Amino acid sequence: MLHSVNTPDLGTDEAEVIELLVKVGQTIDVDTPLVLVESAKASMEVPSPVAGVVKEILVTLGAKISEGVLLLQLETQDTAQEVEVKQEKPTEVTAQVQSEAVQIAQTIAALPQQAIEPSQVVVPNEAKQSTENRGVLHCGPAVRRLARELGVDLYQVQGSAVKGRIVKEDVHGFVKKVLTTPVNSKPVVSSGLPVLPSIDFSKWGEVEFKDLSKIQKLSAQNLHRAWLHIPHVTQFDEADITELEAFRVAQKDTFKAQGISLTILSFLVKACAYVLTKYPKFNASLSENGEQLVLKKYIHIGVAVDTPNGLVVPVIKHADTKSIATIAKELAELSAKARDKKLSPAEMQGASFSISSLGGIGGTAFTPIVNWPEVAILGVSRASQKPVWNGKSFEPRLMLPLSLSYDHRVIDGADGARFVGALNQVLVDIRRVLL
């Protein structure tokens, strides 16, 4: 029989479909991800409540959906596999959530006086390993809603009801256990940041409120987190790109005939990829416990792109293995996708180093914020002609301002200076990376 799958409670009024995870004719199980949606808060997968065969997909990429919207039709064999979908009255849900919040608050209040943040809860290794082979979840929508509110992964919760079904008491017990179990990590210290006061700007004149775009909201969260957690240091320098620019101009028409726009940014990506092979620390990440360095055997460079909706960072994968022509072509394609809102999540993930170029706009220097979990980012400003002493006289040289920000927990000032120095040498003579 045909089973209609509707959008569950997403925890937000509206979300956008950014990826279809199943195809017509595909056989799926209970909890198989159907679509990937993105809201102003986060991206999430919508699981299937039943097993069956996909007969018809009724949403498209970019569609705006909310709770109750029909996603697809499934052909099922046994309706007994369906997850309970009994709806609760809004007033009842509100009352229950409030009651559950009180219970959790009482539990936390009874704990020793130390700062605890949900994001800092450490799950035992056994629990993490148990999520690798995910099976069927037996629980109702009210339990799922409660778990979502408390940030609990239901696959880590042991059900106590018939046939291992998870009830609310199981979720409460899991939270209490995690909060009261000592973990092998340093205590979390509160930031101690004072709360910003509320200001009525209309006292001084007319104002207008304009909502931030979804991208701007997500970027703000990520940048704020990175700024608070990463001790930033910025190294400033200038690179002589006189010969590089002459070479680019000489080759521009040849590349244009191939439909490729040859920009300085293409050379920067290639140069950074080359230098990162010599200084792998800048291509690493700091482990969650802060005691290990994750050295990556790949070089994926993210390039910040300014769009009408905000800043996005598509990624050039394996930049160290690609020619400048290939990099230039990919940059053009990814930038066009970014402006047209057609970038897929995969095209914005996996960067190990980032470049933020303001050369087309202006400025002499700036302090880019490290894009966590990366440990370094290169900022580039507008090149300008400057008099440079050659030993006998001053001569005009085209100088490119560089601003390298890095995580001081991983990289010290000497390493930062060496990296910028090596990058300067490559940009002075790009033949170093072409040989």
DSSP for 200-218, please give it. -GGGSS-----PPPHHHHH
Distance (Å, whole) CA 272 – CA 277: 9
Give the CB-side neighbour count of residue 21, counting CA atoms within 13 A: 17
Q: Given this model, what pLDDT does residue 406 score?
A: 95
Percentage of the residues of the chain whose pLDDT score is greater than 90: 31
Lookup: tokens for 176 = 């209490």
Q: Given this model, what pLDDT does residue 192 score?
A: 63
Average pLDDT on 352-375 reads 89
Average pLDDT on 348-376 reads 89
Lowest mean pLDDT among 148-157, 177-186, 314-323, 420-429: 177-186
- Determine contact, residues 371/313, Cβ cutoff 8 Å: yes
Lowest mean pLDDT among 44-48, 169-173, 183-187: 183-187
Active site residue 300: no
Question: Is pLDDT of 88 > 50?
Answer: no
Lookup: tokens for 105 = 């608050």
Q: Given this model, what pLDDT does residue 79 score?
A: 45
Architecture of domain 2-80: Beta Barrel (2.40)
pTM: 0.56
Q: In 10 A of CB 188, how many CB atoms? A: 13
CATH topology of domain 214-434: Chloramphenicol Acetyltransferase (3.30.559)
- Determine contact, residues 251/259, Cβ cutoff 8 Å: no
- Determine contact, residues 310/219, Cβ cutoff 8 Å: yes
Give SS3 for 393. Answer: coil
Amino acid letter for position 197: P
- Determine contact, residues 294/284, Cβ cutoff 8 Å: yes
Average pLDDT on 155-172 reads 83
Distance (Å, whole) CA 29 – CA 47: 9
Distance (Å, whole) CA 83 – CA 86: 9
CB contact set of 201 (below 8 Å; sequence gap of 6+): 207
**Would you list the domain boundaries of the chain?**
2-80, 93-115+136-180, 214-434
Confidence of residue 82 (pLDDT cuts 50, 70, 90): very low
Confidence of residue 387 (pLDDT cuts 50, 70, 90): very high
Q: Given this model, what pLDDT does residue 2 score?
A: 85
Distance (Å, whole) CA 276 – CA 316: 14
Q: Given this model, what pLDDT does residue 128 score?
A: 43
- Determine contact, residues 207/301, Cβ cutoff 8 Å: no
Q: Given this model, what pLDDT does residue 395 score?
A: 92
Question: Is pLDDT of 354 > 90?
Answer: yes
Q: Given this model, what pLDDT does residue 40 score?
A: 59
Q: Given this model, what pLDDT does residue 224 score?
A: 85
Angle of helix 141-150 versus helix 168-180 axis, rounded to 10:
20
Q: What is the rounded average pLDDT for all residues in the chain?
A: 81
Q: Convert the pLDDT of each residue in 209-262 to its tens digit.
A: 888 877 778 778 888 888 888 899 999 999 999 999 999 898 888 888 888 888
Amino acid letter for position 236: F
Domain 93-115+136-180 in CATH 2.60.40.1180? The answer is: no
Distance (Å, whole) CA 384 – CA 398: 5
Question: Is pLDDT of 122 > 80?
Answer: no
Q: Convert the pLDDT of each residue in 179-206 to its tens digit.
A: 776 655 444 444 566 777 888 888 898 9
